[in-house]
Amino acid sequence: RQKSAWRVSQLKYLQRKRSKLIRRYQNNDTVLNQRLSVVKKLISDLQQEQHNDELPMMINETQFFNFTNICAPSAVTQTEIKYFADQIPSKDKILDEQHEEVCASSTLDDLSDGSLRKPKNSSPGIDRLPYKIYNLLFAHDRTAKLAIDLFNDALEKGIFPESWQGKCVVLLPKNQNLASLMFIYTE
């Protein structure tokens, strides 16, 4: 901050100096151009420094703004639902007799099967809990009931726990070089 404040005051000083040079040497182009070029270079360098210091902050603000807007929920009308449903090819549509099975509430078997199919070292969300922990929780009646209620409320009623409201983006490298691994998280 101190450097930024110093830079602003230095820029004002150099801009005043530039104005004085223009007034003082307005009739002598040779001297004016010689002295003015030095001051203009200093101003340009300071402005570039200021831009470089502010750029990462501006990028972060822009990313957060865009990510927040992209992920912000908005009301959906029946017309929009019908429009998008009509875009699904007939061969990919769910038949009426399949609706009940697809829309049925989740069971403990559904949750257990889903977590058992994952790789042993995999973690499903931002809490970083491995699937092994979930399987352990599913083995106890009270935590299993809580998990079933939680998933069914989310899928059927759109009621999500507060911890699920965060937005998380994980950028993973395509190769196994973890040095290039980046992680960005915003709430």
* Amino acid letter, 71: C
Confidence band for 22, pLDDT divided at 50, 70 and 90: confident
d(CA 145, CA 111): 11
And the tokens for 124? Answer: 């499903």
Claim: this prediction has a pTM higher than 0.75: no
- pLDDT, tens digit (0-9, with 9 covering 90-100), for 58-104: 555 555 555 555 555 667 788 888 888 888 888 888 888 887 777 78
